[in-house]
Chain A
């Protein structure tokens, strides 16, 4: 029998509270706050306490889905990203760059958010960038 706690960072907002994920024999069994960390000082909000709830959830998406008509079909990442790139290019060319907006997320890292705004400004050439914390 193996039981341990792995320190990680809550994925739900920009506060980035550290928390422990409890692991029993390789399976996530719960969350504990980090009592020593200066950010959360042993306290979490309801999102942090449930930060791992999606991991084994039956609704969790495990592959990209592409909408075809009324149905969502499983696809590979190459197919999904290829389609997104192609449609974004078409919309930009037909309706102009400012017809597109980019919404990013506190769940992403700084670097990922930087890359998204770079994509928006340098590739699509729009300043329409916003963030889930303002939605």
Chain B
């Protein structure tokens, strides 16, 4: 059975006991997230293109505190669900994960180094597909590392000056959920003024992503100005791992370091 057929079979089986399963639905109009319910045409269930599904799960869990749903999730989705669960935005007990391992090509598209969802810690989960190796480190980060401090500042000034303040990077982000956002606070970001305050606009977002960014690349793909946001977030992830020993999305049982006290999450001595 092909991967998509296996996924459809799992969804069909789980729909008998759940209120619905979040997955992509392909119609003549295109493909977008959808809540499949029992009796729906599962031939329309698709696996591409990748939309962040963790926010949809969160939306449904919050709307109805009793609803029990499933989700057809890629590696990036599961990592996002991990971080959302830690912040009480989704409820693992009410979620069945049908994990789909990405192919090598799909992993390259998202620059994903971890294309197989890790589902072991989830109470209800199954994995479909053969885990691929995943993409290597972002080549742009290696280039960035070679730059001097002055060159780095110029690099970001050039990149961020392209920003049209669409907030797409925040809107598409599967782990952005705050009801009031610092990027909409006139204290930090003046309304109706282009471009965004340099470098605060993007650095505020980056700081808030520390210990949260799951490297799904959705922000970069949603950016109409083609800012290489994964460079910024890869650097942030690298620092969080070095300083705090934390890889967002990896371990459902490990508390997010920036939400814990210093005793619970001691800083690593390895400050660079």
| B29 contacts across to A, CB distance below 8 A | 7
| A31 contacts across to B, CB distance below 8 A | 171
Known contacts A24-B63, A36-B49, A44-B224; A5 and B171 CB within 8 A of each other: no
Q: Is the CB of A33 within 8 A of B222?
A: yes
Closest to B69 in A: A1
- Complex CA–CA separation, A83 to B30 (angstroms): 44
- Total number of A residues with any Cβ neighbor in B under 8 Å: 26
B165 within 8 A of A: yes
Q: Is the CB of B34 within 8 A of A7?
A: no
A2 within 8 A of B: yes
Query: B195 → chain A, closest Cβ, in Å?
Result: 13
Q: Is the CB of B166 within 8 A of A1?
A: no
> Out of A4, A20, A32, which one reaches B35, CB within 8 Å?
A4
Closest to B27 in A: A7
Closest to B30 in A: A36
B20 within 8 A of A: yes
- Complex CA–CA separation, A26 to B20 (angstroms): 16
Q: Is the CB of A32 within 8 A of B51?
A: yes
| A44 contacts across to B, CB distance below 8 A | 166, 168, 222, 224
| A7 contacts across to B, CB distance below 8 A | 29-30, 32
A34 within 8 A of B: yes
Q: Is the CB of A43 within 8 A of B32?
A: no
Q: Is the CB of A45 within 8 A of B164?
A: yes
Q: Is the CB of A42 within 8 A of B60?
A: no
Residue among A2, A4, A29 with max Cβ neighbours from chain B (10 Å): A4
Query: Interface digits, A8-39 against B, CB 8 Å rule (1 contact, 0 not)?
Result: 00000000001010101100010111111100
- Complex CA–CA separation, A97 to B243 (angstroms): 74
Q: Is the CB of A42 within 8 A of B221?
A: yes
The size bracket of the interface on B is 20 to 34
> Out of B19, B22, B51, which one reaches A35, CB within 8 Å?
B51
- Complex CA–CA separation, A46 to B166 (angstroms): 4
A102 within 8 A of B: no
Q: Which B residues, 37 to 56, have Cβ-Cβ distances below 8 Å to chain A?
A: 37, 49-51, 56
| A34 contacts across to B, CB distance below 8 A | 30, 32
Known contacts A1-B35, A42-B221; A37 and B30 CB within 8 A of each other: yes
A77 within 8 A of B: no
- Complex CA–CA separation, A45 to B37 (angstroms): 33
- Complex CA–CA separation, A49 to B63 (angstroms): 22
| A4 contacts across to B, CB distance below 8 A | 25, 32, 34-35
Closest to B33 in A: A5
Q: Which A residues, 29 to 69, have Cβ-Cβ distances below 8 Å to chain B?
A: 29, 31-37, 42-46, 48-49
B73 within 8 A of A: no
A114 within 8 A of B: no
- Complex CA–CA separation, A46 to B164 (angstroms): 8
B31 within 8 A of A: yes
- Complex CA–CA separation, A49 to B172 (angstroms): 10
B64 within 8 A of A: yes
B223 within 8 A of A: yes
B59 within 8 A of A: yes
Closest to A34 in B: B30
| A36 contacts across to B, CB distance below 8 A | 30-31, 49
19 contacts between A and B (CB under 8 A): A1-B19, A3-B22, A3-B33, A3-B59, A3-B60, A4-B34, A20-B30, A29-B59, A33-B172, A34-B30, A35-B31, A35-B50, A36-B30, A42-B221, A43-B221, A43-B222, A44-B166, A44-B222, A48-B166
4 new A-B contacts, CB < 8 A, other than A34-B30, A42-B221, A49-B166, are: A1-B20, A3-B56, A32-B33, A46-B164
The interface of chain A, by Cβ under 8 A from chain B, is: 1-5, 7, 18, 20, 22, 24-25, 29, 31-37, 42-46, 48-49
